[in-house]
Amino acid sequence: MTTPVTWDLSDLYVGVEDPKLIADLDRLDARAARFAEAYRGKVGQLSPPDFAAALVEYEAIQRDVQNPGAFAQLVFAADSLDPAHGALVQLVQEREVAIGRQLLFFSLEIVELPDDHFARLLEDPTVAEYRHYLEHLRSERPHRLTEPEERILLEKSITGRSAFQRLFDETIGAATFKMELHGATQEMNLSEILDKQHDADRAVRAASAAALTAGLEERSRIFSYITNTLAHDKAVDDRLTRFSHPEASRHLSDEVDTDTVHTMLDACVDHFGTVARYYHLKREMLGLDRLYHYDRYAPLFPEESVTPWEEARDIVVDAYTRFSPTVGDLARRFFDQRWIDAEVRAGKRGGAFCMGIAPDWHPYVLMNYLGKQRDVLTLAHELGHGIHDLLATGQHFLEYHPSLAAAETASVFGEMLTFDALLARDLPARDRLSLLTEQIEGIFATVFRQTAMYRFEQCVHTARREEGELPIDRINALWQESIQAMFGDSVVMGEGHRVWWMYVPHFIHTPFYVYAYAFGQLLVIALYARYQREGQEFVPRYLDILRAGGSKRPADLMAGAGIDISQRAFWEDGLRVVDSMVTRAEEAWREVEAIA
């Protein structure tokens, strides 16, 4: 295989020693100091045009500080072995924090503005351009307490909520799990033991599952105490800050309506049958009598074909071009202008990401290309992010990055386009099946598993509010029921699985966040279903969604394209696509069986 490309960062800075980098930071620091001097404590007294000028300067400082930060992170991701790169990240971070600290007052004072005063500011045409950003900033306002109260809550949270979160991190981080197999004992940390769930040998999967259960059970008192305490802490916070239900603060900060989220989740729950169908198929493919919880991640077929880098580039760019020549041209720029680093080498960060910097700069993509079909899809995914960023350059910086729910729109959409292109190739049935099963399991992990986890959180928070401190076994039972509901009769959730809620960090750090994975992914699959139905007519509406960047709430963004996400039918569209993927996997399996 020919070596994949490396990127060229010299348009940002010529190297880690480039004196311009420090000069840029010095200049921005001085600008931030001047800004604070001019406006601190005075935001409420500014006339609309003066406020507009302040806002534009505030944005410009934040935008310009992106380049040094991006450069430091990119060189470090490309080669972390060079100590100069780590040192640069540290230095730039400290400088950025110092600059950010000087600007912090501005957003706080905007939140404090009385409503009628804020309404007058919006009459200024420049200020009006920032309406979405400002309104989102101020959406927390009805839930704010007086300043001394806020200060007490913040200070006490260090020995309250944050302390319990840290206790969780330290407990799970230090935990070791002893796997016993064939008379030998192996001690592993959490990620190592979880990785064994993907082992081809069933005995390893069963032994590692038992070890995970035993290790969690040993610490179950502490995990259930942390969970109970944080659930109660949240109930108290929600009461004091006037949030009506446990999920409300999450949804407010993500700019989504609780009703819409729940419509989407209900649709997912009603399609749990799709999950059961797939795991019945998986049991058959693995040749097992019964599928236990430790068989869920068993690998199916080793992939046979390797896709050379140039071919991957052509597949992805062609898939984007067939969708829209404009989009295809944007994808091509990443290769032509060396905005992408795909080579695998020592010291380089694993995985993949796309870094969108600011509307006046282009994004960069990093990945590790090994020639698997998954890698081709990853290339399409990260380029999708990059295309999204390039299309959103018409937005100003404060509304440039898409909101949480829309952040994966272009990436997952591009992945779907490429997925269909890969499937359309003349592949051996086994490779087609491996492509399908990998994609299906990925979607399940994002859409259905997160839905089940969200329902578990709802149960725990509601039960804690109604029943008081929850016994360990009560939480275990809620978890077991939530996950079993998703699998139906296709997987036996053994007794050991009852405690597996204990290691999930999201429940501790960002309650109810898990819905966002399901929401974001299903939103895009549903958009893709629209495209399949409407064809080219859909393209300009879709491009408008991307061009809007982060300038609208998710519901408004979609409404602009004629889509009502509060309607169940929209989400059903996406779920039908998932269902049809399972059907295609069933068909491919019949073919494989017929050949064998």
Cβ of residue 408: shortest distance to Zn ion, in angstroms? 5
Residues 6+ apart with CB under 8 A from 17: none
Cβ of residue 381: shortest distance to Zn ion, in angstroms? 6
Binding string, residues 70-109; x marks residues near Zn ion by CB under 5 A: ----------------------------------------
Helix (H, G, I), strand (E, B) or coil at 507: helix
Cα–Cα distance measured from residue 538 to residue 567, given in angstroms and rounded to the nearest whole number: 19
Helix (H, G, I), strand (E, B) or coil at 87: helix
Q: Are 76 and 86 in contact (CB under 8 A)?
A: yes
Based on CB atoms, which residue is closest to Zn ion, 291 or 522? 522
434 contributes a contact to Zn ion by CB under 5 A: no
What are the φ/ψ torsions at residue 181 (nearest 5 degrees)? -150, 130
* Options 258-266, 407-415, 421-429, 569-577: segment touching Zn ion (CB under 5 A): 407-415
CB 518: neighbour CB atoms within 10 A?
25
Binding residues among 510-569 for Zn ion as defined by CB under 5 A: none
Cβ of residue 208: shortest distance to Zn ion, in angstroms? 29
Cα–Cα distance measured from residue 147 to residue 243, given in angstroms and rounded to the nearest whole number: 18
Classify strands 184-188 and 353-355 as parallel, antiparallel or unpaired: unpaired
Helix (H, G, I), strand (E, B) or coil at 541: helix
CB 19: neighbour CB atoms within 10 A?
9
Cβ of residue 524: shortest distance to Zn ion, in angstroms? 10
Cα–Cα distance measured from residue 520 to residue 381, given in angstroms and rounded to the nearest whole number: 14
* Options 160-168, 403-411, 480-488, 494-502: segment touching Zn ion (CB under 5 A): 403-411
Cβ of residue 9: shortest distance to Zn ion, in angstroms? 21
* Options 74-82, 174-182, 408-416, 493-501: segment touching Zn ion (CB under 5 A): 408-416
CB 80: neighbour CB atoms within 10 A?
15
Write the DSSP string, 330-396: HHHHHHHTT-EE----TT--SS-EEE---TTS--EEE----S-HHHHHHHHHHHHHHHHHHHGGGS-
Residues 6+ apart with CB under 8 A from 7: 74, 78, 338, 339, 340, 341, 364, 365, 366
Q: Name all contacts of 265-269 with Cβ < 8 Å and 24+ positions apart.
A: 265/451, 265/454, 265/455, 265/515, 265/518, 266/568, 267/568, 267/571, 267/572, 267/575, 268/447, 268/448, 268/451, 268/518, 268/522, 268/571, 268/575, 269/451, 269/455, 269/485
Which is nearest to 294 in space by CA: 186, 218, 201? Answer: 201
Cβ of residue 388: shortest distance to Zn ion, in angstroms? 10
Cβ of residue 554: shortest distance to Zn ion, in angstroms? 16
* Options 91-99, 160-168, 367-375, 409-417: segment touching Zn ion (CB under 5 A): 409-417
Based on CB atoms, which residue is closest to Zn ion, 224 or 411? 411
Cβ of residue 103: shortest distance to Zn ion, in angstroms? 28
In the bound state, the residue with its beta carbon closest to Zn ion is 411
Element (H, E) at 403: none
Cα–Cα distance measured from residue 205 to residue 199, given in angstroms and rounded to the nearest whole number: 6
Which is nearest to 365 in space by CA: 591, 70, 52, 102? Answer: 70
Cβ of residue 385: shortest distance to Zn ion, in angstroms? 6
Cβ of residue 414: shortest distance to Zn ion, in angstroms? 10
Based on CB atoms, which residue is closest to Zn ion, 95 or 381? 381
CB 533: neighbour CB atoms within 10 A?
10
Q: Are 574 and 413 in contact (CB under 8 A)?
A: no
* Options 237-245, 340-348, 406-414, 488-496: segment touching Zn ion (CB under 5 A): 406-414
Indicate left, alpha or beta for 176 from its phi (over 0: left) and psi (-120 to 50: alpha). Answer: beta
Site size toward Zn ion (CB under 5 A) is 1
Cβ of residue 356: shortest distance to Zn ion, in angstroms? 11
CA separation (Å) from 571 to 257, 262, 302, 355?
A: 15, 11, 33, 29
Cβ of residue 521: shortest distance to Zn ion, in angstroms? 10
Cβ of residue 516: shortest distance to Zn ion, in angstroms? 12
Cβ of residue 359: shortest distance to Zn ion, in angstroms? 19
Residue from 411, 437, 439, 451 binding Zn ion (CB under 5 A): 411
Q: Which residues bind Zn ion (CB under 5 A)?
A: 411
